[in-house]
């Protein structure tokens, strides 16, 4: 009848429960034994130091997020620690080591690119168009139709394309996003 079956199921359930309990106990003892060894052999990591660092970082983030705190001033418009101010585009003039013409510091890289015949713009002389600008913006994508040479294969670069459109070669992409 149904009673012996129920008994059987009950004892099955008990048995599985018993085995499970044994397994679980055994695993707990494993962990206890490992911890004992780690503690006795002095292998514990410097928990306190790690916790301290975590706490300091959490506090720091709170402090920085607090609107009452004066945040980092946008340093382009401040006086530096030596008491100096600087124009947004570096205005020092020096001689280009390739063509020996005087060049302004903040415009040196775009100048050098053309001067050395490197980079896309130099090779694409005469093909300035909106498509060129489009491709510059999508520089992060794996397939780019313009560059005749392969870009570095590193997939972890934070490449920042130039801001601005085709005609503006000297746009300065150095201002931080606000």
Of the candidates 146, 142, 115, the residue with the CA atom closest to the CA atom of residue 129? 146
Which residues, including other chains, have CB under 8 Å from residue 45's CB and lie 6 or more apart? none
- Phi and psi for 32 in degrees, rounded to 5? -60, -45
| Residue from 10, 13, 28, 99 in contact with other proteins (CB under 8 A) | 28
Check residue 67 for interaction with other proteins (CB under 8 A): no
Check residue 68 for interaction with other proteins (CB under 8 A): no
How near is the Cβ of 4 to other proteins at its closest, in Å?
28
CB atoms near residue 103 (< 10 Å): 21
How near is the Cβ of 105 to other proteins at its closest, in Å?
5
- Which residue number, 9 or 131, has a Cβ lying nearer to other proteins? 131
124-161: buried (b, 16+ CB within 10 Å) or exposed (e) per residue? Answer: eeeeeeeeebebbeebeeeeeeeeeeeeeeeeeeeeee
Check residue 53 for interaction with other proteins (CB under 8 A): yes
| Residue from 2, 100, 159, 167 in contact with other proteins (CB under 8 A) | 159
Q: Please list every residue from 80 through 139 that binds other proteins, using CB under 8 A.
A: 80-84, 86, 89-90, 92, 94, 96-98, 105-110, 112-113, 116, 118-121, 136-137, 139
């Amino acid at each position: 009848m149904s009673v012996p079956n129920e008994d059987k199921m009950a004892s099955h359930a008990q048995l599985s429960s018993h085995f499970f309990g044994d397994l679980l106990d055994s695993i707990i003892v494993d962990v206890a034994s490992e911890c004992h060894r780690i503690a006795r052999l002095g292998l514990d990591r410097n928990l306190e130091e790690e916790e301290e660092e975590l706490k300091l970082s959490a506090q720091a983030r709170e402090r920085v997020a607090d609107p009452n705190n004066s945040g980092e001033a946008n340093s382009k418009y401040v006086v530096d620690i030596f008491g100096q101010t600087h124009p947004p585009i570096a205005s020092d003039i020096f001689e280009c080591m390739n063509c020996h013409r005087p060049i302004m510091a903040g415009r040196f890289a775009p100048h050098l690119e053309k001067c050395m015949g490197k980079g896309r713009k130099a090779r694409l002389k005469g093909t300035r168009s909106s498509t060129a600008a489009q491709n510059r913006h999508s520089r992060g994508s794996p397939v780019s139709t313009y560059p005749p040479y392969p870009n570095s294969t590193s997939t972890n670069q934070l490449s920042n394309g130039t801001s601005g459109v085709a005609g503006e070669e000297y746009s300065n992409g150095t201002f931080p996003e606000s």
